[in-house]
Amino acid sequence: MGRGGQNRDCGVAGRRCIATGRVRPKAEMIRFVVGPDESVVPDLAGKLPGRGIWVSADRAALDLAVGKRLFSRGAKRQVTVPEGLVAAVEAGLARRVTDLLSLARKAGSAVAGYEKVRGLIQSGDAAVLLQASDGSVRGKSKLRLPPEEGRYIDCLTASEMGLSFGRDHVIHAALCAGGLASRIVEDATRLSGLRGTIGASGPGKDDGIA
């Protein structure tokens, strides 16, 4: 993923979380930088200039980083943590996923609705299955990707999914393989960590969704 400014974070496979101390892939973490006013800024797109401070995409890890003032340690100087930082990160990730899903719909690589999703799965063209976190468990159980194929995402609510398709709510959606699918899966994985949902389960990144 490209970086702006100093580009210090390129070329390294993983980053160390300031809260847990674990080294994890960048796709499973959230990057922060320190702004000109010495306040912590989430860099969800990974393009802001400056030295990155990394936290696992997990609510407990973020809460610990905020509560224990670990951002100052990561920045090696005193910094300010804005009120509601964790909530802002969650809202930002949700917006990124719904915006990308909307782009996929406009590009013709995303469909919504039970029948259309079932048709895409039956044709073998579905690489990602998305289902609303607040949808009926019984209804959602009727749609499944073949075992060991594709990804499953359930970190968005029905109203959030609806935003992507110009509807009040959407329970079932599916994506064809492509660059947008990979980006949606990555951001959905991080959002899932904050919301405690399944997120983007299934085979690894080299499973053909890219």
CA distances from 82 to 47, 58, 85, 146 (A): 20, 18, 6, 44
- 8-state DSSP, 64: H
Looking at the fold, whether 41 and 129 belong to one and the same domain comes out as: no
Identify the CATH number of the domain in which residue 162 sits: 3.30.1330.30
Give pTM, 2 decimals: 0.86
Q: Is residue 5 part of a domain?
A: no
Note the pLDDT of residue 35: 96
Q: Is the pLDDT of residue 41 over 80?
A: yes
Residue 36, exposed/middle/buried by CB under 10 A (0-12, 13-18, 19+)?
Answer: exposed
Q: Are residues 96 and 166 in the same domain?
A: yes
Domain with 104, as residue range(s), is 92-195
> Does 152 lie in the same domain as 105?
yes
Confidence grade of residue 62 (pLDDT, cut at 50, 70, 90): very high
- Residue 1 domain flag: no
Q: Is 201 among the domain residues? A: no
- Other C-beta atoms closer than 10 Å to the C-beta of 103 total 15
**Among 83, 118, 143, residue at a domain's last position:** 83
Could you read off the pLDDT of 103-145 as tens digits, one per residue?
999 999 999 999 999 999 999 999 999 999 999 999 999 999 9
Residues 128 and 159 in one domain: yes
* 204 occurs within a structural domain: no
Structure tokens given for 81: 């943590």
On whether both 19 and 79 belong to a single domain, the answer is: yes
Q: Strand 23-25 and strand 14-16: pairing?
A: antiparallel
pLDDT at 58 over 70: yes
Alpha-carbon span 27 to 31, nearest angstrom: 10
Same-domain check for residues 36 and 63: yes
Instruction: Output the CA torsion 44→47→52→55 (10° steps).
Output: 20
Domain match, 78 and 115 both: no
